[in-house]
């Protein structure tokens, strides 16, 4: 059986935090506010994967009220999601994610993000796609109040 999932995440931009996207620390004056490292692209990917397997969402598995997740790397949480999918009998076919941010320019970091996500999930890099776009100055991402990400994935049961 083939299943599809989608995920969405958004975090507010703020001073005094690192900007982590796809497990990459991006040099910039603003970072994302959140309980963990606030990596919106990895959070969207995790929600897509969990949704495809009907395993709810990242808030259920890694609640922001739990101190063990304070400041944690989202890549580590992604590894846990990958292990959970394997345990439930699923393998990932592919992942496609989009980061929506007016600034900074993300193109120089995309290849490393893809590698980080693929490595965390034990996938080949050609199974993961990450891209970035702006909203031409419109909306909360366009006015640099925050960064959002969307992701979609396809998984299949290894038991079929």
Q: Which residues make up each annotated binding site for a divalent metal cation? A: 9, 11, 43
CB contact set of 137 (below 8 Å; sequence gap of 6+): 102, 143
> Which residue from 24, 18, 21 is spatially nearest to 45, judged by alpha carbons?
21
**Number of residues in the chain:** 160
Taking only Cα atoms into account, the Rg of the chain, rounded to an integer number of angstroms, comes to 15
Question: Does residue 139 come out as left (phi exceeding 0), alpha (psi in the -120 to 50 range) or beta?
Answer: left
Cα separation, 60 vs 62, in Å, equals 6
Question: Which residue reads 């963990």 in tokens?
Answer: 36
Binding-site members are: 9-11, 35-36, 43, 57-59, 62-66, 133-136, 140
Q: Identify the three-state secondary structure at position 4.
A: strand
Q: How many helices (H) and strands (E) does the chain have?
A: 5, 7
């Amino acid at each position: 059986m083939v299943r599809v999932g989608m995920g969405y995440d958004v975090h507010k931009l703020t001073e005094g935090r690192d900007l982590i996207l796809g497990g990459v620390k991006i040099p910039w004056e603003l970072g994302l506010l959140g309980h963990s490292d606030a990596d919106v692209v990895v959070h969207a990917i995790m929600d897509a994967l969990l949704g495809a397997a009907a395993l709810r969402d990242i808030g259920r598995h890694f609640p922001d009220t739990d101190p063990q997740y304070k400041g944690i790397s989202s890549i580590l949480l992604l590894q846990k999601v990958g292990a959970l999918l394997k345990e439930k009998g699923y393998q990932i076919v592919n992942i496609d994610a989009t980061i929506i941010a007016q600034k900074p320019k993300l193109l120089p970091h995309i290849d490393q993000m893809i590698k980080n996500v693929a490595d965390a999930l034990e996938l080949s890099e050609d199974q993961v796609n990450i891209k970035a776009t702006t909203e031409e100055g419109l909306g909360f991402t366009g006015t640099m109040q925050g960064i959002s990400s969307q992701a979609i994935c396809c998984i299949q049961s290894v038991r079929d």
